[in-house]
A and B are shown apart, each in its own frame.
Chain A
Amino acid sequence: MDGDGLSAHRIPRDVIAANFADCAPALSHDEAQVAAARCYFCHDAPCIEACPTGIDIPLFIRGIATGNLKGAAQTILDANIFGGSCARVCPTEILCQRACVRTAQEEKPVAIGALQRHATDWLFAQKLQPYSRAPATSRRIAVVGAGPAGLACAHALARLGHSVTVFEAREKPGGLNEYGIAAYKLVDDFAQSEIAFILGLGGIAVEYGRSLGQNLALSALRQNFDAVFLGLGLAGANRLGLPGEDLPGVANAIDFIAALRQATDKSTLPIARQVVVVGGGNTAIDAATQARKLGAEEVSIVYRRGPEAMSATLEEQERAQVNGVTIRHWATPVALEAVAGQLAAVVFEHTRPDSAGRAVGNGERFVLPAQMLLKAIGQHFLPEPLATEGPRLEGGRIAVNKDGETSLPGVFAGGDCIAGPDLTVQAVENGKIAARAIHRHLGF
């Protein structure tokens, strides 16, 4: 083992297992009752408007309060079939819970996310399947990507009686729910059990290892199916553009996060003593926090602007900080230093806002020793797999109208590959809207 480089088993396996336990454990019955009793059952409730999928939050909370958990769960799932994972991964602090009138009243919102989990967990534990399919229509729809957008679209279409085939490049469904979310937010393989529930409806076939541009072509899908939904992710990770970026020890944060999610024994994952994460979003937080939980001794997030400009929510920033991560603002990496062919340090330059508000270097430098650098400076959409036959792009992503239809007739798109917030809940809404539009497009 290399004490200065990357090493697995830095801390005992059981400690690592405990570190990765559910970060927000389920509410007990009593806790749920107390939390539900705080909901005022608002008229024209602001929380509903703040939810991208428009869940009737006061109604489902009333269901919890009255002991109608099945009704509560179905209210949630009717609007958002991924209501179980959204309850766990949604940044509720900037969505429903920020809009909650209790936030205005006492800065303590109703625990909407936790209550949503309470209701959906109950339904899943009962192994209830509340949905059934309409009579078969003989229409076939291709969905590319088994992430939240694609599966939300597929589920809605299958309910309407259509036959759906989902093409997924990876070996498992779930998209970012399976590969891109911190392990402590979706424990016990929840992403997969939720998808098993969604696919349990019937009418949805999934083909794994099918990748656009490799063994799948949009033109063929358009020929062989009545409609196509593209639920593609962002395949390109942004690069720093510094010499040495491919040194051992330098990695994309999303790959680090994916490896963590897939590892059955996290103590086998190599981690450095000193880790630097560059970026200001939730990916940076997830990578840095999990690096600490794996046993890294010093973990820093370095962001080129101030805390208010970070796209990670304040709650997520605090999560990193209470886990021992140091967040450094107003600095940008300018050089990578290696020792014996392995990353040894990252050189940063302090930044400050210029007159236009951009962060620019001021010439002063500092060095952070690091044997591991995780880059979390964003991802971008890779249009190449769609080839020249692809739909029109706008701002680097697929352009769609309000129904999610692209410039190609019968081809719809949603999720991270179109403009909008990169959130699971937003992807679900995209899939839901597109499914309705596809249904109309098919003449229903």
Chain B
Amino acid sequence: MADLATTFAGIRSPNPFWLASAPPTDKEYNVVRAFRAGWGGAVWKTLGEDPPIVNTASRYGAVSFNGARIAGFSNIELITDRPLAVNLSEIKAVKRAWPDRALVVSLMVPCAEESWKRILGAVEDTGADGVELNFGCPHGMSERGMGSAVGQVPDYVEMVVRWCKQATRMPVIVKLTPNITDILAPARAARRGGADAVSLINTVQSITGVDLDLMAPMPVVDGQGTHGGYCGPAVKPIALCMVAGIARDSECASLPISGIGGIATWRDAAEFIALGAGTVQVCTAAMHRGFRIVTDMIDGLANWMDRAGYRRIEDFRGRAVRNFVHWEDLNLNYRTVAHIDQDLCIRCGLCHIACEDTAHQAIAARRANGRRQYEVIAAECVGCNLCAHACPVEDCISMVPVPTGRPRLTWKQHPNNPERREAAE
């Protein structure tokens, strides 16, 4: 059986599945339930300075897609609304009771060195394994000069990290906001400041919808709305891209990454790990279905690793990073053509209409003895994949590589590229 134990920025956990700093980790009761369910770690919901903030009703918006609930999720909740002392004593109790689990404390205080020093000292006394600097929260706190307001300014990131590293012996993880043009800027700044790791992504600024009766953005608070932070399955592709971008960056190289964003299954986790993440953090999936989802995450990841021949997480961590290249490095001489398995085809015609209306007119609609028949016109097919995605039948349409007899050719070498660099030159 595969060994899922991880050591991340010096913090050990029995498995890479941590709960992200969020409502599920707001208090001892929840975190104990999570640890009982098997979670490898938890990042305690963000602590701030007293007096505590105040929250609204409601706090969440969600996007359903074609019958699937919470395909995307948004919140306008702020950091913990409980007194600092209460949180600290509970953190201490939980860590004492669960010494084998990772317990990291998320922090957000005003951008002043004294504030950070004060709270770091208090957290250190709890015995927590590390801290996560919340530079990501895009709503409510950012307007007060905290959260993403810091994360969007690389110089601030570097400065605050430096203060924190000087003030504590605990590992410092920096949680990054995706609400920025280039994720490498704050990631590199965190590294320059001495961060032990980064975690990403925090939520994406969002309005989940508009209540057309109230004419108000959702979620609605007494007839009005504000932007929230978007998360859940819908943001996973954005998160994967940002994680991978940091993983392949030479300046950030070897900076541990805790992957966050739409992770709901072992497969999601494996994908983040393959792109360089050392642990993963989960929130929305647990808020949707409860903590026991971790059973299948642990089990599923271990079973997949056994099948794939990986004994430890490190055996496959980052394995897909080398294949995450820039567009100009892709082989332009590689060709595929769609192939429709006529025995599996259910005659829905979606491949045809997608190609006909919106792509390359490469799938013909025919009738053979009155029966619908959809056939690929190989000469017109550019191998774009659209039909395979539109097809509702697993494996009915496959993209078959076609030998071209031509050598690998990238844009860098392509004759159409005005700036091409000839290998010979």
Binding site for B on A (CB under 8 A): 33-34, 37, 40-46, 65, 101-102, 104-105
- Which B residues are in CB contact (< 8 Å) with A40? 348, 350, 392
B393 contacts A37, CB within 8 Å? no
Segment 318-351 of B: residues with Cβ below 8 Å from A: 346-350
- Nearest-neighbour CB distance to chain B for A420, whole angstroms, equals 19
- Interface presence of B352 (CB below 8 A): yes
B67 contacts A42, CB within 8 Å? no
Known: A44-B352, A105-B392. 17 other contacts (CB 8 A): A33-B67, A34-B67, A40-B350, A41-B350, A42-B347, A42-B348, A42-B349, A43-B349, A43-B365, A44-B372, A45-B349, A46-B347, A46-B372, A101-B347, A102-B346, A104-B346, A105-B346
- Which B residues are in CB contact (< 8 Å) with A105? 346, 392-393
Complex Cα distance, B347 from A383, in Å, reads 44
Complex Cα distance, B392 from A102, in Å, reads 10
- Nearest-neighbour CB distance to chain A for B351, whole angstroms, equals 9
- Which A residues are in CB contact (< 8 Å) with B392? 40, 105
Complex Cα distance, B393 from A321, in Å, reads 35
- Nearest-neighbour CB distance to chain A for B101, whole angstroms, equals 39
A101 with B67: in contact, given A43-B365, A44-B372 (CB under 8 Å)?
Answer: no
A43 contacts B348, CB within 8 Å? yes
> A43's contact among B66, B352, B393, by CB below 8 Å, is which?
B352
- Nearest-neighbour CB distance to chain B for A101, whole angstroms, equals 4
A43 with B350: in contact, given A105-B392, A105-B393 (CB under 8 Å)?
Answer: yes
- Interface presence of B353 (CB below 8 A): yes
Binding site for A on B (CB under 8 A): 66-67, 346-350, 352-353, 365, 372, 392-393
The 21 listed contacts between A and B (C-beta, < 8 Å) are A33-B67, A37-B66, A37-B67, A40-B350, A40-B392, A42-B348, A42-B349, A42-B350, A43-B348, A43-B352, A43-B365, A44-B365, A44-B372, A45-B348, A45-B349, A46-B347, A101-B346, A101-B347, A101-B348, A104-B346, A105-B393
- Which B residues are in CB contact (< 8 Å) with A102? 346
Q: Is the interface of A mostly helix, strand, loop or mixed?
A: helix
Complex Cα distance, B349 from A42, in Å, reads 6
Q: Name which residue of chain A comes closest to B396, CB basis.
A: A105
Complex Cα distance, B347 from A105, in Å, reads 10
Complex Cα distance, B69 from A33, in Å, reads 12
- Which B residues are in CB contact (< 8 Å) with A45? 348-349
Q: Name which residue of chain B comes closest to A99, CB basis.
A: B347
- Which B residues are in CB contact (< 8 Å) with A46? 347, 372
Complex Cα distance, B353 from A387, in Å, reads 54
Q: Name which residue of chain A comes closest to B356, CB basis.
A: A43
Complex Cα distance, B123 from A128, in Å, reads 65
- Nearest-neighbour CB distance to chain B for A416, whole angstroms, equals 27
- Which B residues are in CB contact (< 8 Å) with A42? 347-350
Q: Name which residue of chain A comes closest to B390, CB basis.
A: A40
Q: Name which residue of chain A comes closest to B374, CB basis.
A: A43
Q: Name which residue of chain B comes closest to A46, CB basis.
A: B347
The 9 A-B residue pairs whose C-beta atoms are closest, nearest first, are A43-B349, A37-B67, A43-B353, A101-B346, A104-B346, A42-B348, A101-B348, A105-B346, A40-B348
Most A CB atoms within 10 A — which of B66, B347, B365, B393?
Answer: B347
Complex Cα distance, B357 from A43, in Å, reads 11
- Nearest-neighbour CB distance to chain B for A118, whole angstroms, equals 15
Complex Cα distance, B67 from A101, in Å, reads 19
- Which A residues are in CB contact (< 8 Å) with B66? 37, 65
- Which A residues are in CB contact (< 8 Å) with B350? 40-43
Q: Name which residue of chain B comes closest to A104, CB basis.
A: B346
Complex Cα distance, B372 from A296, in Å, reads 48
- Nearest-neighbour CB distance to chain A for B66, whole angstroms, equals 5
Complex Cα distance, B87 from A154, in Å, reads 76
- Which B residues are in CB contact (< 8 Å) with A104? 346-347
- Nearest-neighbour CB distance to chain A for B113, whole angstroms, equals 54
> A44's contact among B67, B346, B349, B393, by CB below 8 Å, is which?
B349
Q: Name which residue of chain A comes closest to B345, CB basis.
A: A104
- Nearest-neighbour CB distance to chain A for B116, whole angstroms, equals 49
Complex Cα distance, B348 from A402, in Å, reads 30
- Which B residues are in CB contact (< 8 Å) with A101? 346-348
Complex Cα distance, B384 from A34, in Å, reads 31
- Which B residues are in CB contact (< 8 Å) with A37? 66-67
- Nearest-neighbour CB distance to chain A for B207, whole angstroms, equals 19
- Nearest-neighbour CB distance to chain B for A12, whole angstroms, equals 42
Q: Name which residue of chain A comes closest to B370, CB basis.
A: A49
- Which A residues are in CB contact (< 8 Å) with B393? 105
Complex Cα distance, B372 from A44, in Å, reads 9
- Nearest-neighbour CB distance to chain A for B64, whole angstroms, equals 9
Q: Name which residue of chain B comes closest to A44, CB basis.
A: B349
Q: Name which residue of chain A comes closest to B64, CB basis.
A: A33
- Nearest-neighbour CB distance to chain A for B190, whole angstroms, equals 43
Complex Cα distance, B347 from A53, in Å, reads 21
- Which A residues are in CB contact (< 8 Å) with B346? 101-102, 104-105
Q: Name which residue of chain A comes closest to B349, CB basis.
A: A43
Complex Cα distance, B348 from A40, in Å, reads 7
Complex Cα distance, B392 from A43, in Å, reads 13
Q: Name which residue of chain B comes closest to A41, CB basis.
A: B350
- Which B residues are in CB contact (< 8 Å) with A65? 66
- Which A residues are in CB contact (< 8 Å) with B348? 40, 42-43, 45, 101
Complex Cα distance, B354 from A41, in Å, reads 12
- Nearest-neighbour CB distance to chain A for B22, whole angstroms, equals 28
- Nearest-neighbour CB distance to chain B for A66, whole angstroms, equals 11
